[in-house]
Amino acid sequence: MKKITIKTTAILMGLIIILFLGCKKKDLLANVDTDYEYLPQDVKQSCTVSDSLFNSWFAGKKATENGLVSPANSVTFPHNNNCDFYQWSEQMFLWITSPSSGSYGNKGTIMESPVFYNVSPQDPVTGKRKLTAHQPNVLLNAASTINQSGPNRLPVLIDKSGKMFEIESQKKDEKVKNDANKLVLLGSVKADAKGIHSFLDTKGNVIKNPKPVIDSKIKPSEVVQEFKVGAKSIFLDSNGNEVQSEQGQAGSHGALMGENKSLVYYITMVNDVYAYYLTGVNEGKLNGNQFPTTASARDSIVAYAKTKGWAIPPDADALAMEIKTSWVEVKDLPNPETYVTIEATIPTYDKTNPNKWVENGQTTAKLALVGMHVVGSVAGHPEMIWATFEHEKNSPNSAYAYVDKNNKIKQVAADTGKGWLFNGNASDTTGAQNIQNMTAKGNTILITNPALKSPTARRIMAWGVASNTPPNAEDKTPADSNSQIISINNAVRSKLVGNDIRKNYLLIGATWTFGGAAPNGNVYPYGGTNGDAIGTGQLSNSTMETYVQSPSSASTEQNAISCFSCHSNSNNNGVLPDDLSHIFEDLIPLPANNKRVIK
């Protein structure tokens, strides 16, 4: 996105709009005290928020600087047009990041309050996750990696055409099928001087036309088998074809570091409605066919909580919510006052080997919010709304188009220059982008590309849509869709009062399915409409899907990636919570003595 720098104290007193689409971006790090970035201001006002509606979002029914916002009412969600979904997303983000001022039993933000529960990383032995109630004066725990998993809960990679595959790891006694379609125990895989790979059995004989045995049940044609060739890996699809991964893709979970030399840390949370619903489903007391979307489903969850003697959700109308957040250490940030911050516990690493960091303990740190996925069930949409937000100085955008007030399409060139937290030099808009440099394996982080001195993150699709296809039936062009997201960002930012810290965050987009149908993994307009991801269907967050982004054109069904490419199950054609939420089936239900303090 094109931005300008305005050096004037008048910014703090009112809205000054100056737009030079041809201006040169200045080094933001050199002028962090007075820089302020703007979106295109001549955008068509296709999705806005009225003053009265915006004021109604605040607990006091009037917008105040850094004031407490109430959650959107998901039970009465209107779902008439795209803007309804984007307004819901904005209100929920403002609520979650609101200073709670003690009204929820804590002195931090709403996400730190007892309304939310922390979700632990998977236990390496049991595969289970724990829910931890937020308590006053108890720090949250952050992890230094985030799993990028497909519908089979396997790691993912993107091939050179932009298609996403899941990866089955090589087993100790891996077997492959030979040209006679018989199973053969694999001995080894070797590469000759030209890089041609040969598969050998345990006796050293060449296995002709080897094909892997794919165990995954969901879309096995989109799963590859990993094979080790020395210290490297190669990947074969179900037909035995070698899949070449995109540059920098390590085929496993990546870690990310900012220009301030902080790792990115992640915290996953669910709200009380989600936690209660999960526990009730596990006890057979609540219907587990879909996340709650109605008043009766809400009431059932509240009634269940009463039978357990648990605190009643103060915001039950928010329905079930899951949020994923990304953070960096405040230390050495050039503009720390522009971030929502928390105190948290993070892992420490022994870096004696500069290319292999081993976790060796924990420490307490002040963290700055850089990204957030906001996911929630609403009336008519059990598949949930999937929205994402980023700090405005995270990563540069690729080129995009928008519609101006005169209904003319304008082109915005790709962001260049320096000053981005996750891109050391955005001038390279082609080759050096989203290269994975750090790979997490258990409690170890491997530096897989030591020559890469700076991060290279970039949002390939600035506002979650491809450059060459309509993203939904309401928006006939990508420019129309981009204009909706830009205009609601402008509206919210202009209505936030004074120096409200939330002005520094951008809605990148939100996605859902047509008519609330079960997601089929396809993206509009490539599927059959029902079940296709719409809204901004090819959405990515540069801090959480850094290495899993579609090409900007995403010109085929195979390389169009959405949230539902991973969060769905095409085999059951339903909206089971297990299929939509990757943490649902792994979570241990709340204990009977679950206690929270909510004023």
For residues 61 and 169, state if they share a domain. Answer: no
Look at residue 28 in the predicted model and tell me its pLDDT.
34
Q: What is the pLDDT of residues 242-266, one digit of tens each?
A: 998 754 444 457 889 999 999 999 9
Look at residue 498 in the predicted model and tell me its pLDDT.
96
What single string gives the DSSP state of each residue in 555-570? Answer: -SSTT---GGGTS--T
* Lowest-pLDDT choice from 64-68, 378-382, 415-419: 415-419
Strands (E), 407-480: 409-412, 438-441, 444-447
* Lowest-pLDDT choice from 21-35, 36-50, 259-273, 473-487: 21-35
- Provide the Cα torsion 541, 547, 552, 558; round to 10°: -110
Enter the DSSP assignment of 23: P
For residues 432 and 562, state if they share a domain. Answer: yes
User: What is the band of 240 on the pLDDT scale with cuts at 50, 70, 90?
Assistant: very high
Look at residue 258 in the predicted model and tell me its pLDDT.
94
Look at residue 555 in the predicted model and tell me its pLDDT.
57
Residue 577, preceding peptide bond in cis (omega within 30° of 0): no
Residues 370-382, mean pLDDT to the nearest whole number: 97
Share of the chain above pLDDT 70, in %: 88
Whether residue 552 lies inside any domain: the answer is yes
Nearest residue to 457 via CA among 433, 438, 440: 433
Enumerate the H helices of 151-208 as residue ranges.
none
Residues 425-444, mean pLDDT to the nearest whole number: 80
pLDDT of 597 > 70? The answer is no
Q: What is the pLDDT of residues 146-189, one digit of tens each?
A: 777 788 888 888 887 778 888 998 988 999 999 999 999 999 99
Whether residue 236 lies inside any domain: the answer is yes
Average pLDDT, the chain: 87
Looking at 222, 245, 268, the residue that finishes a domain is 245
Enumerate the H helices of 205-333 as residue ranges.
272-282, 295-308
Looking at 215, 245, 275, the residue that finishes a domain is 245
For residues 56 and 172, state if they share a domain. Answer: no
- Give the pairing type, strands 223-229 and 164-168: parallel
User: What is the band of 387 on the pLDDT scale with cuts at 50, 70, 90?
Assistant: very high
Domain region containing 232: 163-245
pLDDT of 585 > 50? The answer is yes
* Lowest-pLDDT choice from 99-113, 391-405, 577-591: 99-113
Whether residue 473 lies inside any domain: the answer is yes
Residues in contact with 85: Cβ distance below 8 Å, sequence separation at least 6, in sequence order? 79, 385, 387, 510, 512, 535
Residues 132-153, mean pLDDT to the nearest whole number: 83
- Give the pairing type, strands 211-212 and 175-177: antiparallel
pLDDT of 557 > 80? The answer is no
Residues 518-540, mean pLDDT to the nearest whole number: 86
For residues 397 and 543, state if they share a domain. Answer: yes
Enumerate the H helices of 247-320 as residue ranges.
272-282, 295-308
* Lowest-pLDDT choice from 224-233, 275-284, 337-346: 224-233
Whether residue 488 lies inside any domain: the answer is yes
Residues 276-285, mean pLDDT to the nearest whole number: 97
Regarding predicted confidence, which is higher, 195 or 390?
A: 390
Look at residue 106 in the predicted model and tell me its pLDDT.
65
Residues in contact with 490: Cβ distance below 8 Å, sequence separation at least 6, in sequence order? 39, 41, 43
Whether residue 174 lies inside any domain: the answer is yes
Residues 179-207, mean pLDDT to the nearest whole number: 92
Question: pTM here?
Answer: 0.89
Whether residue 295 lies inside any domain: the answer is no
Whether residue 23 lies inside any domain: the answer is yes
Q: How many domains does the chain have?
A: 2
Look at residue 105 in the predicted model and tell me its pLDDT.
60
Whether residue 556 lies inside any domain: the answer is yes
Looking at 245, 278, 300, the residue that finishes a domain is 245
Residues 461-486, mean pLDDT to the nearest whole number: 94
User: Residue with structure tokens 């632990």?
Assistant: 120
549 neighbors 260 (Cβ within 8 angstroms): no
32 neighbors 335 (Cβ within 8 angstroms): yes
298 neighbors 377 (Cβ within 8 angstroms): no
Look at residue 7 in the predicted model and tell me its pLDDT.
35
Look at residue 530 in the predicted model and tell me its pLDDT.
81
Look at residue 306 in the predicted model and tell me its pLDDT.
95
